[in-house]
Structure formats: structure tokens, C-alpha cells
Amino acid sequence: MLDPFGRQITYLRVSVTDRCDFRCTYCMAEDMTFLPKADLLTLEELERLCSAFVAKGVRKLRLTGGEPLVRRNMMSLVNSLGRHLRSGALDELTLTTNGSQLSRFAGDLRAAGVRRVNVSLDTLDPAKFRDITRWGKIETVLEGIDAAMAAGLKVKINSVALRGINEDEIETLMIWAHGKGMDFTLIETMPMGEVDADRTDQYLPLSLVRTRLAQNFTLEDSDYRTGGPARYVRVAETGGRLGFITPLTHNFCESCNRVRLTCTGTLYMCLGQDDAADLRKPLRANADDALLHSAIDEAISRKPKGHDFVIDRRRHAPAVARHMSVTGG
């Protein structure tokens, strides 16, 4: 699949549910309205959609959400998608999770063919963790991370850099992650969906974080890539990898290789734009995939050049109205 700007689309991210057992302040309002249950695709339909993308050239699939592991019977989807790994059609099947259910599912994920997971964790302080996630318990997440590593999964920690919240803990988080042999990636907050907090207050540019880290650590340039937007450095003192995802301070759209599917079968060709294609209709119209394949081609032909994320005090509305949990972060 080639888009109008010559970018090859090989990566599909799937939000299998927009629901979550946490309510992170930068991601969701406390009182969220979720997509109506009646609009959800079944796990079998999601499997068929993902498989159509694999047939069209997708090599990497990431299941995300909301919290992917709170969707009932989720392992049946992971298990059936695992067949594409065994056939060689897919290079990687992976997940982004808040870690709350990993103790339960780590072994099953590994058995299905998953080799790496990203776990989102913004602080190691239990009280701060409770403040950020509103509903989460840090012990469960830490146990989940240990269970994942014990099951043989490679874990990467992702933290959203939040001004005045975890700003003073970034070094601690990095040293902790690297000490456990995990890569560590920082993310800038993106203006998606209304949340209760003020994003201009939360936004911490990673250019600043990087300058500060460079005062205490040797950050060596690295051309390591995982097929995502993160740019990595090697930290000489810890021997670990540190990634930066900087949609605001450094735009990476020119190398974008991905599209995003929601749990209702809507395809977003860009995280930061509203244009979308309905794939549920062609999926349900016919048991044969021909209609679906042409709807996918038509959608890819509309992939925009890039996003319009800006966070500043003059612009109060988010760049896109939907929350990250709908399109999947």
C-alpha cells in the first residue's frame, strides 16, 4: 500500500476498545462517554479486518486502546492473529498496555507469539501514580511488568512528560527502566480530546528535557529504529536506550508508515486529523473481502501529509475532538 506522498503503509495500530480501567488525566476526562457497545465490531470482525490489512502488506500490528487487555476474551483475537506470525506474513504482533492485567496475560501473550510489549508508566511514586491515573494502583503495574519479563517478553516503558508532575522524576524513571534492562521512551502530550486538565499547563517540550538530561548523562546518537516515530539515543552511563517521541517539537510525518483502526471499524489515516473511512460497512456488506480491499485502497489514497498539532495559550480547543483512547496511542 503506497500513499499519495510515496510512503509505504506497513503498520496498523488497532484500538480494540476505547474503554479503560484507568482515567489518566492527560488522556481522558473522569466522566467519559464511550462509543456505544452496539457499534463495536466483534473480535471475529476485528480479526477479519486485521487479516485484510496483512493481506495488503501490513507487516506490524499493534493492539492498543483504551486498555486492550480489558476487552473480554481478548486473548482469542491475539491467538488467532498469531497465525500470521507463524505463516511469515507478519513480522510483529505487539501491544501497548497500562500493565494492569499483565500478570494474568503475560504467559498467554508470549505463547501466542508476542515478543515485545510497551507499558505506559509515568511515575514510580504511588501517590503520584494515583493522581495521574485516577483509578490505578502502581503495585499491580509493577507486578505486571515483572510477570511480562519473567514470561520472556521484552518490555519498553513509555512515559508522557508532564510539566510539574513527573518532570522531576524523569532521570529516576530512566535509571530504573535501564537498570531492569528495559528501553525507556518519553512522549510529548498531544492535544486530543477534551480532558479536565489544561494541556498548556501539562505540556513539557522534550527538547528541554533532552537538554537537561544531557547535563548529567552522555547521550550518544543512535540509528536504532523500531518502525515507530521514536528517535533513540544510547545513554553511556546506564548502557540503556532512551527514545523521544516529539510530535510537537519535531514533526516526523514525512516517514509515517501507519494507519489506525478503531473498535468500530473506522480507519484514521492520521492521528492528528479528523478525516476517516468507515470499514465496517464494506466488512459487513459481503463475506468476501473484495469490497473491503477497495475501501482500504481508497482510504490510503486520502492519507494526509501530516498533523496540525499545536499547543499554545491562544488555541484552547484540542486539535482533534476524539480522545487518544479512540484511535489508540
Which residues of this protein are in contact with ligand SAM, per CB under 6 A? 20, 26-27, 64-65, 67, 96-98, 120, 158, 160, 187, 189-190, 192, 324-325, 329
Q: Which is nearer to ligand SAM, 96 or 103 (CB)?
A: 96
Q: Considering the complex, what minimum distance in angstroms separates the CB of residue 32 from ligand SF4?
A: 9
Q: Which is nearer to ligand SF4, 144 or 240 (CB)?
A: 144
d(CA 267, CA 287): 19
Residue 23 binds which entry of ligand SF4, ligand SAM, none, with Cβ cut-offs from 5 to 8 Å by kind?
A: ligand SF4
Residue pair 18/322 in contact (Cβ under 8 Å)? The answer is no
Residue 192 binds which entry of ligand SAM, ligand SF4, none, with Cβ cut-offs from 5 to 8 Å by kind?
A: ligand SAM
Backbone dihedral region of 276: left (phi > 0), alpha (psi from -120 to 50 degrees) or beta?
A: beta
- 88's CB contacts (< 8 A; 6+ apart) are none
Residues in the chain: 329
d(CA 171, CA 71): 34
d(CA 162, CA 199): 9
Q: Considering the complex, what minimum distance in angstroms separates the CB of residue 2 from ligand SAM?
A: 27
Q: Considering the complex, what minimum distance in angstroms separates the CB of residue 83 from ligand SAM?
A: 24
Cell of residue 71, nine digits: 476487552
- Lookup result for grid cell 488555541: 315
Strands 231-235 and 241-245, how do they pair? antiparallel
Q: Which is nearer to ligand SAM, 51 or 64 (CB)?
A: 64
Q: Which is nearer to ligand SF4, 98 or 262 (CB)?
A: 98
Cell of residue 138, nine digits: 502502581
The residue type found at 300 is: I
Residue pair 232/246 in contact (Cβ under 8 Å)? The answer is no
By C-alpha distance, which of 271, 248, 251, 97 is closest to 163?
Answer: 248
Q: Name the site residues for ligand SF4 (rule: CB under 6 A).
A: 20, 22-24, 27-28, 65-67, 98, 120, 325
Q: Which is nearer to ligand SAM, 304 or 318 (CB)?
A: 318
Angle in degrees, 0-180, between the axes of helices 74-87 and 43-55, rounded to the nearest 10: 20
Task: Compute and round to an integer the Cα radius of gyration of the chain.
Answer: 19
Q: Considering the complex, what minimum distance in angstroms separates the CB of residue 8 from ligand SAM?
A: 24
Q: Which is nearer to ligand SF4, 90 or 160 (CB)?
A: 160
d(CA 329, CA 326): 8
Q: Which is nearer to ligand SAM, 98 or 257 (CB)?
A: 98
Q: Considering the complex, what minimum distance in angstroms separates the CB of residue 171 from ligand SAM?
A: 19
Residue 64 binds which entry of ligand SAM, ligand SF4, none, with Cβ cut-offs from 5 to 8 Å by kind?
A: ligand SAM
d(CA 327, CA 324): 6
Q: Considering the complex, what minimum distance in angstroms separates the CB of residue 304 from ligand SF4?
A: 24
Q: Considering the complex, what minimum distance in angstroms separates the CB of residue 283 from ligand SAM?
A: 23
Residue 158 binds which entry of ligand SF4, ligand SAM, none, with Cβ cut-offs from 5 to 8 Å by kind?
A: ligand SAM
Q: Considering the complex, what minimum distance in angstroms separates the CB of residue 257 from ligand SF4?
A: 23
Q: Which is nearer to ligand SAM, 58 or 102 (CB)?
A: 102
